[in-house]
A and B are shown apart, each in its own frame.
Chain A
Amino acid sequence: MSADPHEEALRALQVAKHFGSVRALNGVSITVYKGECVVLIGESGSGKTTLLRCFNRLIDPDAGEVFVGGRRASELDPVLLRRRVGYVPQDGGLLPHWRVRRNVELVPWLREVPNTRDLAAQALGIVGLDPAVFGDRWPRELSGGQRQRVAVARALAARPDLILLDEPFGALDAITRAELQASFHEIRQELSVTAVLVTHDLNEAFLLGDRIAVMRQGRVEQLATPGELRGAPATDYVRQLLQRARVTMI
């Protein structure tokens, strides 16, 4: 367990968010500690992606407060905040008109640090892609798995303390997904970067999460380690979820 209970990386306090008449977040409170990986899991519409997007101010809550590194997110410049936080969307979101190297250099370039090329090469190396081979390729010349690896490299290139991943492996085939999950697990242990990962895949949650937040209808039903979750599900909903998951985890 790499979680340090004394150093908080992220905190959501009574966060609420409406989209029109839809209540996406209904007073969510959650703390993420430095170095741990918290997985947000739930069905579509449970609010997990909305919560993730509050952490780098892609969404600002209607009520409640988000703290990043102990500071109120609402007082931070959103653009500068996003440049300090890695982000991996489900579809990779690589810029199709930029080569792989330039895609990976994006955040170092935005932060105007000097050695963007080295940082990009290191990040590509971390995700298992040889920069000499892949650096000059166009995104369309990559497989789905390779594209997702580049997206992870891009999120890590500026060496952020925190990365947010929105169903990063959800669109991949089962074999590629398993490979990337294993890679990501290793990378995270190597870099001890704090991560919040959204998924609807329980296997992924149990594999990658130091703690798992089960979300439902804009609330956190239970936030616990995988062991605690298995041993003592807090609600009927969590119990049903686990029963279904065991079927697939034989």
Chain B
Amino acid sequence: MRFSALAALMLAASASPPDQSSRPRPIVVASKPFGESYLLAEMFAQLLEARGYSVQRRPGLGATEIAFQALRTNAIDVYPEYTGTGLLAILGERPSPDPQQVFRQVSTEFRRRYGARWLPPLGFQNTYAISVRKETARHYGLSTLSDLARVSRRLKAGLTPDFIGRPDGLPGIQKAYNIGFREVRALLPAVKYQALASGEVDVIDGYSTDGFIARYDLVVLEDDLRFFPPYEAAALASSNFARDVPAGLAVLGELSGLLTEGDMRRLNRRIEVDRIPIPRVAAGALLALGLTGSTTAPDRAADTLRAGVLAYMWSQRQTVAGLTVRHLVLVGISLAAAIACALPLGLALERRRSRAEPVIRAVGLLQTLPSIALLAFMIPLLGIGLVPALVALFLYSLYPILRNTYTGVRDAAPEAVGAAWALGMTQRQVLRYVRLPLAAPVIMAGIRTAAVINVGTATLAAFIGAGGLGDLIAAGLALSDTRMILSGALPAAVLALLVDAALAGCERLVRPGG
């Protein structure tokens, strides 16, 4: 990798220390939601910090589409990407087997189309590793993908949703090798290795640098027709990053060409199998590469490694508490905004009943959008982070409140409403003294429904970088770390119960007498 080493040197030479007087803005470092991406992003972040830059971390931001969308709109500055992914999944170009040609192609095209910069590759490839159990390989005599094509119609595949959809994934190998499986199941990275090991599926799509391949003693089938393009890992930087902090970009260039596939597999094994915290693995790697001094990340006690979920949560209590507060902020603001909109709208519709159903149904349609899709739609409009998450949660909360307000007020004790009207109450008085108090329990039920849904949905906000307890769930899923998943999921469940109980208390306060 002489080319990239040279480029890195040139970049490093042009780098100057950040100008402290002008207080450079923080650099937003993101990753995709799997272990290696977390690790590389953390290495980027620590290296930048070691060189005096301030960094904002957005780990596990989202799969290729979401992460790149965020980069393209300058919502993030940099994340680790793979050249082959850039070529096929983002540019939609035909693959080439030559790594250098692929790199040149993505460099030129990304700069031309999006203003985004590929830094010279880090030095290793992480290509798809179609893997089977050892006994499957022995039984069918499998060593290449061409071998697999002969027997694939008898086998069950467990593939990540990403792989099933993208042109350099399942559709591509189906065409190139005429591979067709008896059954294809969509599995998250966190569970596919276990599913393969336990015999639930026979074939999975691994990554060549995964720590699990060695752990489960899997056989990686050779891509004998050279279908998969080169997937060289590299830092992908936004146009603003290159413009605003060119010296920071040069700092990341120091990593180019330094990591071999063997290094990466070892590092991945430490986080995925040995469960060593990512910041520590990243710090150790930077130290070993001679890029940082020995005083970077504080070494935490290793006693948390084998501890149970509760002990783990206790050791992470500050993180969990911080994320819980963030979660409550997400839920509180979006719910308050939804009440402020849906309540008056429900009351207004009650007076124009012919228009009520179409309007309520239209709002209900929002509810049918998958949460992840809605969150993804938000990125081009509002970027990533708190605002799009709040808007999405707000939209999800509208329907239950609107529906219950309208129905509650419409159906509230009609004979009492009729009498109040006949005895000389004004419309406003009927609403304030009769309809609203009598509808209050139904309206509160809608608010409680919205709140509980909201607490659950807010865990997905982590995928667009809004934080909250979903951060732990997303990271835990990516690292197949059950303790980490539970340390996000359990507080979220408790939070849902507490929010519901708190609102039940409010309901008793507004409940009419009698």
Contact = CB atoms under 8 A, between A and B. Distances in A.
Contacts of B421: 58, 82
Contact of B423 (A83, A99, A139): A83
B415 interface: yes
Interface string B413-439: 101101111111110010001100110
A42 to B, nearest CB: 21
Which residue among A106, A138, A151 has the maximum number of chain B CB atoms within 10 Å of its CB? A106
B423 A87 contact: yes
Interface in B238-280: none
B332 to A, nearest CB: 29
A23 interface: no
A93 B513 contact: no
B425 A110 contact: yes
A93 B418 contact: yes
Interface string A148-164: 00010011000000000
Nearest to A141: B514
A8 interface: no
Contacts of A180: none
A140 B426 contact: no
B361 to A, nearest CB: 26
B419 A87 contact: yes
A89 interface: yes
Contacts of A91: 415
Interface in A68-125: 79-83, 87, 89, 91-99, 106-107, 110-111
Contacts of B437: 97
A94 B419 contact: yes
Given A138-B513, A138-B514, A94 B422 contact: no
A95 B416 contact: yes
B512 interface: yes
B513 to A, nearest CB: 5
A155 to B, nearest CB: 8
A97 B424 contact: no
A194 interface: no
Contacts of A89: 415, 418-419, 422
A58 B514 contact: no
A199 interface: no
A56 interface: yes
A94 B513 CA distance: 13
A79 B426 contact: yes
B422 A95 contact: no
| Interface range on chain B (Cβ under 8 Å from partner) | 20 to 34
Contacts of B415: 89, 91-93
Contacts of B512: 96-97
Contacts of B426: 79
A107 B420 contact: no
Contacts of A93: 415-416, 418-420, 422
A154 to B, nearest CB: 7
Contacts of A82: 421-424
A96 B438 CA distance: 8
A155 B419 CA distance: 10
A23 B190 CA distance: 72
Contact of B420 (A95, A99, A151): A95
A94 B416 contact: yes
A89 B417 CA distance: 11
Interface string B399-422: 000000000000001011011111
A75 to B, nearest CB: 17
A95 B422 CA distance: 13
A67 B490 CA distance: 71
B424 A95 contact: no
A94 B434 CA distance: 11
A110 B513 contact: no
Contacts of B420: 93, 95, 106
Minimum-distance CB pairs A-B, first 4: A93-B419, A97-B512, A83-B424, A82-B424
17 contacts: A79-B425, A79-B426, A81-B424, A82-B421, A89-B415, A89-B422, A92-B415, A93-B419, A93-B420, A94-B419, A95-B413, A95-B416, A96-B413, A96-B512, A106-B420, A107-B424, A110-B424
Interface of B: 413, 415-416, 418-426, 429, 433-434, 437-438, 512-514
